[in-house]
A = this chain, B = another copy of it.
Amino acid sequence: MTYTSTPEVQEMKARVCALHAELLRWGLVTWTSGNVSGRVPGTDLIVIKPSGVSYDDLTPELMVVTDLDGKVLEGDLAPSSDAESHNEVYRRMPETGGVVHTHSPYATAWAARAEPIPCVLTAMADEFGGEIPLGPFALIGSDAIGKGIVETLRGHRSPAVIMQNHGVFTIGKDPKSAVKAAVMTEDVARTVHISRQLGEPVPIPQADIDRLYDRYQNVYGQQPAPKEQ
Contact = CB atoms under 8 A, between A and B. Distances in A.
A78 B223 contact: yes
Contact of A194 (B51, B109, B121, B195): B109
Given A121-B108, A165-B120, A198 B193 contact: yes
A105 B194 contact: yes
A118 to B, nearest CB: 10
A41 interface: no
Contacts of A212: 139-140
Contact of A31 (B110, B167, B183, B204): B183
Contact of A199 (B103, B115, B141, B199): B115
Interface stretch (A6-14, A88-96, A184-192): A184-192
A30 interface: yes
A154 interface: no
A195 B50 contact: no
B78 A112 contact: no
A52 B222 contact: yes
Interface in A48-67: 50-53
A81 B219 contact: yes
Given A33-B123, A212-B140, A109 B191 contact: yes
A211 B195 CA distance: 31
A201 interface: yes
A141 B112 CA distance: 37
Given A180-B31, A197-B197, A52 B220 contact: yes
A105 B187 contact: yes
Given A26-B30, A122-B140, A193 B197 contact: yes
Contacts of A202: 112-114, 137, 164-165
Interface of A: 26, 30-31, 33, 50-53, 77-78, 81, 103, 105-106, 108-110, 112-115, 120-123, 137, 139-141, 164-167, 180, 183-184, 187, 190-202, 204, 208, 211-212, 215, 219-223, 229
